[in-house]
Amino acid sequence: MVCFDSQLTDDLNNLQNIADLCDEFLKYVWMRRRMYDLPSKERMRCIIPENLPQQGNNFDCGLFIVEFARRFLLAPPVNLL
């Protein structure tokens, strides 16, 4: 999972907890639709791209997510690791 967080904090465990929650949700949806386990038991990793612009307030997050999506779609990263 690639995390575009415009209010990134020093608590990277929080981001991994979010990735774990998304992982559990996707596994649940898979099981409900496919009725068998996922082929891979690997946990989803949380990747944070470098040099993400950070907002200085609590109300511009919508603008930041639109800008992150625009940049990601116009110039997808070749290697996120």
pLDDT in tens, 20-74: 888 889 888 888 888 777 777 777 777 777 778 888 888 898 999 898 889 889 9
Residue 67 lies in a domain: yes
- How many Cβ atoms sit within 10 Å of the Cβ of residue 5? 19
Overall pTM > 0.75:
no
What is the residue whose two structure tokens read 């999972």? 1
Could you tell me the two tokens for 50?
């470098």
Q: Domain span at residue 49?
A: 12-74
Q: Are 44 and 19 in contact (CB under 8 A)?
A: yes
Residue 2 lies in a domain: no
Residue 4 lies in a domain: no
**Helices marked H in the chain — which ranges?**
12-34, 61-74
Residue 49 lies in a domain: yes
* Structural domains in the chain (count): 1
Could you tell me the two tokens for 72?
């990601």
Residue 1 lies in a domain: no
